Amino acid sequence: MRLTDKVFWEAYYKEKPVISPRQSGNKLNFFLKKVLGNGFINYWRKNVVHNHEEHVLWDVIYDKYLPKTKGLKVLEVGSAPGYNLLALNKIFGYVPYGVEYLQTGVEMNRRIFLSNNIDPDNVICSDFFDDKF
């Protein structure tokens, strides 16, 4: 059973800029960035105000339960835009692979991989729920 279709995701990526959940912010962040600059905001995000859900997920749950094995291969189904896989690569040293059924999403994911020295061919365009997969 599908919860969404390609039309939904095409519209989603067309209308909404794709940013990392760890980089997203609210109006206060935007204002402070405009007034104080990127350096302060980066420090503030990293050291003072850390999104609670992200903190719990990455710094508590993943840190405790994911293996500390560099080079471990990890697959994300529905991987666009690729920030989760990138974070798993940077934080845990995992080799990321993604499956994305929307070509736009594959291209985004591959650009992010390429700009971070990860093989862009690790992202494939395929429908995970298709019997041919």
Residue 39 included in any domain: yes
Question: Per residue in 104-120, pLDDT tens?
Answer: 999 999 999 999 999 99
Domain membership of residue 86 as a residue range: 67-133
Instruction: Specify whether 101 is located in the same domain as 76.
Output: yes
Residue 14 lies in a domain: no
Whether 130 is in a domain gets the answer: yes
How many Å apart are CA 39 and CA 63, to the nearest integer?
A: 27
Q: Are strands 95-100 and 73-77 parallel, antiparallel or unpaired?
A: parallel
Q: Is residue 5 part of a domain?
A: no
pLDDT of residue 18 exceeding 90? no
Q: Does one domain contain both 131 and 102?
A: yes
When pLDDT is averaged across residues 49-54 and rounded to a whole number, the result is 67
Does 23 score more than 80 pLDDT?
no
Please report, for residues 3, 32, 85, 97, 110, the alpha-carbon distance to residue 35 in angstroms, rounded to integers and kept in the order given. Answer: 41, 5, 32, 39, 33
Same domain, residue pair 55 and 113: no
On whether both 55 and 101 belong to a single domain, the answer is no
Residue 24: the pLDDT is: 46
pLDDT at position 132, please? 78
- The residue assigned the tokens 């997969």 is 133
Per residue in 116-126, is it b (16+ CB within 10 Å) or e — as a string?
A: eebebebbebe
* Number of residues written out for the chain: 133
On whether both 94 and 114 belong to a single domain, the answer is yes
Q: How confident is the model at residue 35 (pLDDT cuts 50, 70, 90)?
A: low
CB 32 within 8 A of CB 44: yes
Together in a domain, 72 and 114 = yes
Find out whether 124 and 78 touch, Cβ atoms under 8 Å.
Answer: no
Number of domains the chain is built from = 2
The pair of structure tokens assigned to 105 is 């999403």
